[in-house]
C-alpha cells in the first residue's frame, strides 16, 4: 500500500475506533455516569447524528480547500473533541464532546475514499476504497478491543486518552506522507469545481436516493446488534467481562475478511456485490440469534456477523460512485452520513428493543427485520438499473495517469 493511502487508512482507523469503542465500555460508562445502558448507547446515536448532518455541509464548504490542509484540520478537530470527552465531568458534556468530534468524521472518510479511487485503475476502484475501509476493520480488530481493555482496567476516560494519543500520531503521519498536491485543482475531471448548486443537483437522482436509503437500513441493522455486543455476550452468552475484548477481536477479524471480499465482489459487478452482501448479513443475524446462548457457536456466529457486516461498505460506496460521478466527494460524504445515520438508527432500535422488555437477544431479530427491508429495496434498485451498466465508471486516461503519479510524495 502506498504511504499516502496507508496514512489515510490509519486516520480512518482513528475515527473508526472513536465511534465503535463505546460498545465495549457501555457498562463502565453507564455505572460511572449513573445512566442506563440504553442512555449510554445514545452516545453512539449523538455521534452518528453529528456525522450525518455535519459531513455533507463541511464537504460543501471545503470543496476548494487543499485536501491535505483539510485532512489535517479535521484531525485537529477530532483530537480536541476527544480531549474534551476524556475530561467531561458529566453525561451532557460528554454528549456534546461526542457530537463535536463527529463533525470531523464524514468529510475525512469521504476525502480519503475519493483520493483512493483517483489513485486506482478503473477496475480496481472498489478494492482501493476497501483498503481505506480497512481502517474501520482494524478499528474493530485492534482499536475497539484495546480501548475496551483500557476502559475496563483504568476507566472509560483512559479510553478517550488512548484514542487522542493515537490521533496525534495519525496527524503527524498525514502531514508527513500525504502529498500537498492532492488539492481540488487535481479533481477538475471529477466535477469538484462545479458550483455548490450544480453539485447539489446530484441528490435529485432517484438511484442515488435509493442507494442512500439502503445504506441507512443496512448499516442500521449492523449497529442494532453491534452497539449492544457487550451486554449480549455477557448476559446471553455468559462470557466473562474479560472475554468481551477477545471476542471483539474475533468480530474484527471477520470484518477484515468481509471487507476484502466485498470490495472484490463490487469490482466484478456492483449490484451483484450489493445483493450478496445484504443476503449474507441477513443470514448472519439469524445464525447469531440461534447461536447466542451457546459460547462456541456464538463466537463463530460473531465472526460470520463481522464478515457480513463489513462486506456492505465497499459495495455500497462503489454503487455511489457509479451513480454520482459528477460530484463524487459530496456523494461519498453524504453516503458516510447515511452510514452514520444508520449507526444512530441502529443504536436507537437496539435500545428500544431492550426497553420494550424483549431482551437483549432480540436485537438480532430487530436487525434481521431491517436487513430484510434493505434487501428488498436492493432488489428493487437492481430491477431499476437492469438497463444501466452496473460497472463502475472508468476514469479517463489523463485522470488515471495523473492520479497514479500522486501515489508517493
The CATH number for 33's domain is 1.20.1250.20
Q: What is the pLDDT of residue 326?
A: 63
Q: Whose CA is closest to 194, among 203, 183, 180, 184?
A: 184
Average pLDDT, the chain: 81
| Residue 11 forms part of a structural domain | yes
Q: What is the pLDDT of residue 397?
A: 32
User: What b/e readout covers 226-243, taking b as 16+ CB neighbours within 10 angstroms?
Assistant: bbbbbbbbbebbebeeee
Confidence category of residue 307, pLDDT binned at 50, 70, 90: very high
Q: What is the pLDDT of residue 193?
A: 55
Tens digits of residue pLDDT in 34-81: 888 888 888 887 887 888 788 888 888 887 787 788 889 999 999 999
Q: How many domains does the chain have?
A: 1
Q: Which residue segment(s) compose the domain that 302 sits in?
A: 3-404
Q: Among 105-114, 187-196, 199-208, which stretch is predicted with the lowest mean pLDDT?
A: 187-196
| Residue 409 forms part of a structural domain | no
Tens digits of residue pLDDT in 163-186: 999 999 999 998 988 777 644 444
Confidence category of residue 11, pLDDT binned at 50, 70, 90: very high
Long-range contacts (CB closer than 8 Å, 24 or more residues apart) made by 157-163: 157/86, 157/87, 158/86, 159/21, 159/25, 160/82, 160/83, 160/85, 160/86, 161/86, 163/14, 163/17, 163/18, 163/21, 163/82
| Residue 185 forms part of a structural domain | yes
Which residue is it, cell 428493543? 353
Residue range 145-155: mean pLDDT, rounded: 89
Tens digits of residue pLDDT in 94-131: 999 999 999 898 889 888 887 777 777 766 777 777 88
Q: Classify residue 206 as exposed, middle or buried by CB count within 10 Å of its CB (0-12, 13-18, 19+).
A: exposed
The span from the CA of 335 to the CA of 349, in Å, is 20
Residue range 398-409: mean pLDDT, rounded: 35
Q: What is the pLDDT of residue 282?
A: 94
Confidence category of residue 395, pLDDT binned at 50, 70, 90: very low
| CA-to-CA dists, residue 327 to 114, 127, 143, 322, 403, angstroms | 10, 20, 32, 11, 17
Bin 327: left if φ > 0, else alpha if -120 < ψ < 50, else beta: beta
Confidence category of residue 325, pLDDT binned at 50, 70, 90: low
| Residue 222 forms part of a structural domain | yes
User: How many angstroms separate the first and last alpha carbons of the chain?
Assistant: 13
CA 148 to chain centre: 19
| Residue 123 forms part of a structural domain | yes
Helix axes 105-118, 91-102, angle to 10 degrees: 20
Q: Is the pTM of this model over 0.75?
A: no
The span from the CA of 303 to the CA of 251, in Å, is 5
Q: Is the pLDDT of residue 405 over 90?
A: no
| Residue 220 forms part of a structural domain | yes
Amino acid at each position: 500500500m502506498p504511504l499516502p493511502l496507508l496514512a489515510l487508512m490509519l486516520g480512518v482507523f482513528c475515527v473508526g475506533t472513536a465511534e465503535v469503542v463505546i460498545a465495549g465500555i457501555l457498562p463502565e460508562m453507564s455505572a460511572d455516569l449513573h445512566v442506563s445502558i440504553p442512555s449510554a448507547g445514545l452516545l453512539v446515536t449523538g455521534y452518528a447524528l453529528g456525522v450525518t448532518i455535519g459531513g455533507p455541509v463541511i464537504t460543501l464548504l471545503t470543496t476548494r480547500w487543499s485536501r491535505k490542509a483539510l485532512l489535517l484540520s479535521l484531525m485537529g478537530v477530532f483530537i480536541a473533541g476527544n480531549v474534551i470527552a476524556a475530561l467531561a465531568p458529566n453525561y451532557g458534556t460528554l454528549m456534546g464532546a461526542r457530537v463535536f468530534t463527529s463533525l470531523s468524521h464524514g468529510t475525512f472518510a469521504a476525502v480519503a475514499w475519493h483520493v483512493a479511487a483517483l489513485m486506482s485503475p478503473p477496475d480496481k476502484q472498489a478494492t482501493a476504497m476497501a483498503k481505506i475501509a480497512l481502517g474501520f476493520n482494524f478499528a474493530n480488530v485492534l482499536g475497539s478491543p484495546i480501548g475496551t481493555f483500557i476502559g475496563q482496567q483504568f476507566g472509560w476516560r483512559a479510553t478517550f486518552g488512548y484514542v487522542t494519543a493515537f490521533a496525534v500520531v495519525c496527524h503527524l503521519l498525514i502531514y508527513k506522507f500525504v502529498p500537498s498536491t492532492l488539492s481540488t485543482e487535481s479533481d477538475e475531471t471529477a466535477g469538484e469545481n462545479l458550483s455548490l448548486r450544480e453539485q447539489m443537483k446530484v441528490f435529485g437522482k432517484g438511484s442515488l436516493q435509493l442507494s442512500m436509503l439502503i445504506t441507512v437500513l443496512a448499516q442500521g441493522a449492523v449497529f442494532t446488534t453491534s452497539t449492544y455486543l457487550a451486554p449480549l455476550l455477557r448476559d446471553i452468552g455468559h462470557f466473562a467481562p474479560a472475554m468481551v475484548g477477545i471476542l471483539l477481536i474475533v468480530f474484527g477479524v471477520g470484518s477484515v475478511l468481509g471487507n476484502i471480499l466485498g470490495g472484490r465482489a463490487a469490482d466484478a459487478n456492483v449490484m451483484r456485490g450489493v445483493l450478496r452482501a445484504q443476503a449474507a448479513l441477513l443470514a448472519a443475524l439469524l445464525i447469531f440469534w440461534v447461536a447466542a446462548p451457546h459460547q462456541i457457536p456464538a463466537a463463530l456466529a460473531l465472526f460470520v456477523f463481522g464478515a457480513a457486516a463489513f462486506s456492505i461498505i465497499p459495495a455500497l460506496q462503489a454503487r455511489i460512485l457509479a451513480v454520482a460521478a459528477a460530484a463524487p466527494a459530496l456523494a461519498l460524504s453524504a453516503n458516510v452520513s447515511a452510514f452514520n445515520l444508520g449507526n444512530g438508527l441502529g443504536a436507537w432500535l437496539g435500545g428500544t428493543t431492550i426497553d420494550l422488555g424483549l431482551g437483549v437477544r432480540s436485537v438480532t431479530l430487530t436487525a434481521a427485520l431491517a436487513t430484510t427491508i434493505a434487501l428488498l429495496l436492493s432488489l428493487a434498485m437492481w430491477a431499476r438499473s437492469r438497463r444501466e451498466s452496473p460497472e463502475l465508471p472508468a476514469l479517463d486516461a489523463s485522470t488515471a495517469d495523473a492520479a497514479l503519479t500522486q501515489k508517493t510524495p
